[in-house]
Amino acid sequence: MGNVKSSSLGYPRIGEKREWKKNLEQLWAGEQTEEAFLAKQKQLRLSYLQTQVEAGLDYVPVGDFSDYDHVLDTAVSFGLVPDRFAYNGGKVSVSTYFEIARGAKNAVAAEMTKWFNTNYHYIVPELNAREPQLVHNRWLELFEEAKSELGVTGKPVILGPITFVKLAKQYGKKTLAEHVQKLLPLYGKVFDQLTDAGATLIQVDEPVLTGDVTEADWLLFEEVYRYFEENHASANLLLQTYFEAVTDFSRFLNLPTAGAGIDCVAANQKGIEQLQKIAIPENKIIALGILDGRNIWRSDLVQLFKTVNNVQSTLNEENGQTLILQPSCSLLHVPVSLKHETKIFPELKDALAFANEKLVELDQLKEVINGNVNEAVLKESIQAVEGLNQSSSRNNEGVQALLHERKQEDSKRSVNAQARFDLQKEKLKLPLLPTTTIGSFPQTKEVRKQRLLWRKGELSNEAYSQYINAEIERWIQIQEKIGLDVLVHGEFERTDMVEFFGEKLAGFQFSTNGWVQSYGSRCVKPPIIYGDVAFQEEMTVKETVFAQSKTEKPVKGMLTGPVTIYNWSFPRTDLAEEDVVNQIALALEKEVLALEKAGIGVIQVDEPALREGLPLKKDDWKAYLDQSVKAFQLSVKSVQAETQIHTHMCYSDFQDIIESIDALDADVISIEMSRSHGELISSFEHYTYDKGIGLGVYDIHSPRVPSEEEMIQNIQRALKVLDQKRFWVNPDCGLKTRQEPETVAALEAMVRATTKVRHTI
């Protein structure tokens, strides 16, 4: 076989020390000019390209960099700006770009939702009456920048037209195909300009091909890419997929494109198996996603070498078939570098690979495949993986025995929901339409400063505890003054809703700088689940009990659920997903019982990530949902009937999984609805939900304070399909990222709106 090349689908935006995040937030805070912001963005962008060049990539992605979100980038490049932002054509300004993402004083932000089954959020395009136009060829601009500044002929990355439209809101009377057809000449113009500028390969991302693709979808794909072949033949398009296997692999490979990119990691080698069974078209580039782009484990290069050799045996160089090695998806989903990780113990650190290390692995694998075999490198990769697998942390006999025992039992609570409702009503004595929040309150610079001083050892445990208690007491008083019915302690001691618990459970490790982008400038630092998970000590009892001692109103205990902890971590891959999730559930159960024993009668076990973990193909949903429901039930099954269990979920199409939500058997569930503009209420029009429910009445991801009237309309709309005796009023998510004045003003408006609605029913 000829020379195998290497490529990447995309690179993390945030920087090794979150420089990108800081740059955005300085602009938003008015601490720097737009010109200074853009200059820093360019500096970061070029440094990322240089890193990838130095790592040995043959095809360096350009255009994957974004100032906020790549889907939003695509929309504004084609002038698709919602009418409420008073856009008058031409290149979209920086201020308008961020208003679409974050909202403006008189315009709500565009909807935000999960990017397939990841924890990344994208801004949902709105396809209204506005005709798309190519108002800014950002891909050409970034391609030429890389070429002129660094001498790099990059591989432009663009979101494909069918995936773009499928991810959008399709307003108006146009069909999916009609919206796509409007975009084709614009995409064609982009391709032509890139080709004229010297681009030899253009990556076109169409990840919707890994979901459930209908016959109509296939016909549309064939029509669209035949159009590009016939009208823009000089453009070499690499049709890229990721996150799962393509169902009809032969049909995919025979689409008229120069290359086909497949994810061989998430697809569990299905792509490789399919490659070996079908005839590959002549002159086809096969881009093999062979390194895990969504997890942080080091690769077994010996095993990958064998896998790639098997693929090579199916290709015929004389027929023009060539091979590119690459990660399974964009490296957006993993941290940047292990360089700054000094606190991870050596046995684990040796088994890890962040984005930069994955690029090194990719280059090593390419060299081995191309005949430059380095036995030491191969041996080292095997030893790193095996060393961790054989460690005591992955062989905890007590945890494994308990897991086996509890998996055999019924995971449901012993008292039914109606009986529990009656008992809890008598105990809690809450008013009609009880008000509450989701859990967290604003984490000010001072809160973060005090926590950092404590973590550095510059603030004593006693002093830090006194500071946290003072914040808790202050916010208990604020909540009572506002008039909320069920209070929370505010979570000031927590950096992140998953990280906090992972730090206290056995089997977890934390990085110092292992940040990844969640949405906008919001970054999270996922824990690493490396061993068997076990309860070690009470995690939330002290702060919750202190808060409860300061009020006569009920205070919710706040936990993150097992499915969310799993989905928002980097999980171990040597153990079945179900077993890891259930280990977490059994550890959390002990914390739930500790809260109950301490007198906390309302406990919220959040599962915001339950739906995002759904497999992309519906045939695989049932197994995942059954597994998730059982894990949640295991975490709360042993509490008394009088203890009210809440849960919370974010950004989901709930009509698809409403039966599983019901099966969780939570006494109260709160659900985001504000950014979906109440659309999910339709989920309950044809399904009788007989438990407590709160549909978020305002959007916390936008800094604007909603009016009472907006929230009254949201409450009244929900009450048309939901039982008023079981309806709760709350924001749509936690308030950690908001400022205090806007938080108080919004909650005051929410309580006033609720009071007015109570008087009408």
Q: Which of 218, 253, 224, 207 is nearest to 114 (CA)?
A: 207
Tens of pLDDT, residue by residue over 502-522, are 999 999 999 999 999 999 999
Q: What is the mean pLDDT of residues 288-294?
A: 96
How confident is the model at residue 384, as a pLDDT? 85
Inform me whether the pLDDT recorded for 171 exceeds 70.
no
Tens of pLDDT, residue by residue over 212-251, are 999 999 999 999 999 999 999 999 999 999 999 998 999 9
Q: Which two tokens stand for residue 437?
A: 């929040």
For 14, which DSSP code? S
302: phi then psi, degrees, rounded to nearest 5: -65, -45
78 vs 373, higher pLDDT: 78
How confident is the model at residue 472, as a pLDDT? 97
Q: Catalytic amino acids?
A: 701
Q: What is the mean pLDDT of residues 530-551?
A: 96
Q: Which two tokens stand for residue 350?
A: 């040796």
Q: Which two tokens stand for residue 716?
A: 């009244």
How confident is the model at residue 680, as a pLDDT? 63
Which residues are registered as beta bridge partners of 529?
Answer: 508
Inform me whether the pLDDT recorded for 116 exceeds 80.
yes
How confident is the model at residue 377, as a pLDDT? 84
How confident is the model at residue 170, as a pLDDT? 76
The CA-atom distances, in angstroms, between 359 and each of 354, 668, 730 are 9, 46, 45
How confident is the model at residue 416, as a pLDDT? 94
In whole angstroms, what is the distance from residue 24 CA to residue 30 CA? 10
Positive or negative torsion for Cα 325, 331, 335, 339: positive
In whole angstroms, what is the distance from residue 280 CA to residue 265 CA? 20
In whole angstroms, what is the distance from residue 9 CA to residue 355 CA? 12
402-439 exposure pattern, b = at least 16 Cβ within 10 A, e = fewer: bbeebeeeebebeeeeeebbebbeebbebeebbbbbbb
Tens of pLDDT, residue by residue over 658-688, are 889 899 999 999 987 655 555 567 777 778 8
How confident is the model at residue 93, as a pLDDT? 97
pTM for the structure as a whole? 0.89
Contacts of 716 (CB under 8 A, 6+ apart): 757
SS3 call for 268 = coil
For 343, which DSSP code? S
How confident is the model at residue 674, as a pLDDT? 57
Contact (CB, 8 A) for 675 and 112: yes
Q: By mean pLDDT, which of 145-149, 487-491, 681-685 is the weakest?
A: 681-685
DSSP 399-448: HHHHHHHHHTS--S-SS-HHHHHHHHHHHH-PPSS-B---SB----HHHH
Q: Which of 146, 149, 148, 138 is nearest to 69 (CA)?
A: 138
**For 175-260, where are the alpha helices, taking DSSP H only?**
176-196, 215-231, 249-253
Contact (CB, 8 A) for 612 and 394: no
Largest CA distance in the chain: 80
* Residue type at 409 in one-letter notation: E
**Antiparallel, parallel or unpaired: β 121-123 and 112-114:** antiparallel
716: phi then psi, degrees, rounded to nearest 5: -65, -35
For 280, which DSSP code? P
Residue 652's pLDDT band (cuts 50, 70, 90): low
| Domain architecture of the chain: domains with CATH | 5-203+288-308+320-392 (3.20.20.210), 419-758 (3.20.20.210)
In whole angstroms, what is the distance from residue 612 CA to residue 567 CA? 8
pLDDT above 90 covers a percentage of the chain that reads: 76
Tens of pLDDT, residue by residue over 33-77, are 999 999 999 999 999 999 999 999 999 999 999 999 999 999 999
In whole angstroms, what is the distance from residue 673 CA to residue 734 CA? 13
Inform me whether the pLDDT recorded for 630 exceeds 80.
yes
Q: Which two tokens stand for residue 217?
A: 């979808």
Per-residue 3-state assignment (H helix, E strand, C coil) for 104-149: ECCECCCCEEECCCCCCEEECCEECCCCCCCCCCHHHHHHHHHHHH
In whole angstroms, what is the distance from residue 219 CA to residue 224 CA? 9
Q: What is the mean pLDDT of residues 537-556?
A: 97
Tens of pLDDT, residue by residue over 550-600, are 999 999 999 999 999 999 999 999 999 999 999 999 999 999 999 999 999
Kindly tell me the number of DSSP H helices and DSSP E strands found in the chain: 26, 22
Tens of pLDDT, residue by residue over 428-454, are 999 999 999 999 999 989 999 999 999
Residue 2's pLDDT band (cuts 50, 70, 90): low
Inform me whether the pLDDT recorded for 638 exceeds 80.
yes
Binding-site positions read: 18-21, 114, 438-440, 491, 522-523, 568, 606, 612, 648, 650, 672, 733
In whole angstroms, what is the distance from residue 700 CA to residue 672 CA? 10
Contact (CB, 8 A) for 183 and 132: yes
In whole angstroms, what is the distance from residue 604 CA to residue 557 CA? 6
Inform me whether the pLDDT recorded for 636 exceeds 60.
yes
In whole angstroms, what is the distance from residue 69 CA to residue 195 CA? 25
Beta-sheet strands, E only, within 561-711: 602-606, 644-649, 668-671, 692-695
Inform me whether the pLDDT recorded for 21 exceeds 90.
yes
Q: What is the mean pLDDT of residues 646-667?
A: 84
Tens of pLDDT, residue by residue over 317-370, are 888 899 999 999 999 999 999 999 999 999 999 999 999 999 999 999 999 999
For 731, which DSSP code? -
Which residues are registered as beta bridge partners of 157?
Answer: 203
The mean pLDDT of the chain is: 93
Contact (CB, 8 A) for 676 and 633: no
For 504, which DSSP code? T
How confident is the model at residue 651, as a pLDDT? 57
Tens of pLDDT, residue by residue over 295-329, are 999 999 989 998 898 888 888 888 889 999 999 99
First-residue to last-residue Cα distance in the chain: 76
Rounded (5°) CA angle 745-103-30:
85
How confident is the model at residue 214, as a pLDDT? 96
Q: By mean pLDDT, which of 46-60, 165-179, 327-341, 465-479 is the weakest?
A: 165-179
Contact (CB, 8 A) for 636 and 645: yes
SS3 call for 606 = strand
